[in-house]
Amino acid sequence: MEFFDVIKKRTSISKYKDSKISKESIDKMIEAAMRAPSWKNRSAFRIVIVDDKDKKDEIAESIRNKDDKACNAVKEAPIAMVIIAKPDDSGEVEGKDFYLVDGAIAMEHIILAATAEGYGTLWIGAIDEGEVKDILKIPDEYKIIGITPVGEIAEEKEHYKAKDIKEFAFRNEYNNPY
């Protein structure tokens, strides 16, 4: 799949088929994350791949907004990928914590790689971090950036309609249309 086809195809998917994901595909997703840019090339993030049904069920219960779609997506998908980062391994400038930026870039690389491999994903951030850290035995010094279930798409979802570029891009100064 060409890069812009991946961008256009990627959308939030919450229904997955009960099928395995090949190790080769998972390896590609991990490699995509490992190639993500990071502050001073520190790569403060790590990835926990969860395929244990009981652990996925527990993680689903930690979702704060209790959205059935998000909870069910974690339960149904063959894997959930949990992106974590260690703030002390990254930097901070003017109050901006770069571990969050680095982890988000890595997670998006995973999501785009999954899309390129033909899988669906769903970015989940509203979780009880303490619960998930306990479930996965994540050390205290790490923070959870997000969770994405990954799986073969059971129910296609139409991508949202692109908005007008004039709302998003400006030339030289804010509100000067591109």
Domain count, the chain: 1
Sign of torsion, CA 31 27 104 151? positive
Q: What is the pLDDT of residue 68?
A: 86
Q: Is residue 161 part of a domain?
A: no
The domain in which residue 47 lies consists of 3-155
Cβ 145 vs Cβ 107: under 8 Å: yes
Average pLDDT over residues 31-36: 97
Residue with tokens 């256009």: 8
Structural domain includes residue 167: no
Please give the pLDDT value at position 125: 94
In a domain, 177, yes or no: no
Residue 68 φ/ψ, nearest 5 degrees: -55, -35
| Residue 67 located in a structural domain | yes
Per-residue pLDDT at 39 exceeds 90: no
Residue 111 belongs to domain with CATH number: 3.40.109.10
Residue 67, pLDDT score = 65
Q: Which of 78-87, 114-123, 156-165, 167-176 has the lowest mean pLDDT?
A: 156-165
21 — pLDDT class (breaks 50, 70, 90):
very high
Single pTM value for the model: 0.92
What's the pLDDT tens digit per position in 93-144?
Answer: 898 899 999 999 999 999 999 999 999 999 999 999 999 999 999 999 999 9
pLDDT above 80 (res 172): yes
Is residue 89, in this structure, part of any structural domain at all?
yes
22-26, 35-39, 136-140: least confidently modelled range:
35-39
- 123 residue type, one letter: W
Residue 174 covered by a domain: no
The predicted structure's pLDDT at residue 66: 64
- Do 141 and 75 meet the contact criterion of CB atoms below 8 Å apart? no
The DSSP string of 37-77 is --GGG---EEEEEE--HHHHHHHHHTBTT--HHHHHHHHHS
- Helices 68-76, 53-61: crossing angle, 10 deg rounding: 170
In the predicted structure, residue 155 carries a pLDDT above the cut 90: no
